[in-house]
Amino acid sequence: MTNRLDTVFAALADPTRRAILAMLLEDDMAVTDVAEPFAMSLAAISKHLAVLSDAGLISREKRGRVIWCKLEPDAMREASVWMRAFGQVDPLDLDDFERFLAQELGDEAD
């Protein structure tokens, strides 16, 4: 369990990956659409997506020639259960998580 938690928390530690997760809260997206708002290469975005995928936070599926990314919110369940064990975190509410990400991303833009 610890290795899995390490992987999830390491994936969540990067602001670009948190921004990608926030984008995927809306809907599945093609890799090129995920990359569009970022000032980095498609290869760099692909590396971020690989980290998120390895952590189980997203899944990727090839549809025709396009690779689509989908949020896998259940992957955060284990991390949420671990944090609740300390009695300081409420159960994971994806609406709250979305608002948190929006606030974090808004603060970074300032």
Domains of the chain are 2-104 (1.10.10.10)
pTM to 2 decimal places: 0.74
Q: What is the mean pLDDT of residues 69-73?
A: 93
Q: Is the pLDDT of residue 90 over 70?
A: no
Give the pLDDT confidence of 6-64 residue by residue, as tens digits.
Answer: 999 999 999 999 999 999 999 999 999 999 999 999 999 999 999 999 999 999 999 99
Q: 29: which strand partners?
A: 69
Long-range contacts of 23-29 (CB under 8 A, 24+ apart): 24/58, 24/69, 24/70, 24/71, 25/71, 25/94, 25/97, 25/98, 25/101, 28/68, 28/69, 28/70, 28/71, 29/68, 29/69
Question: What is the longest distance spanned by two Cα atoms in the chain?
Answer: 46
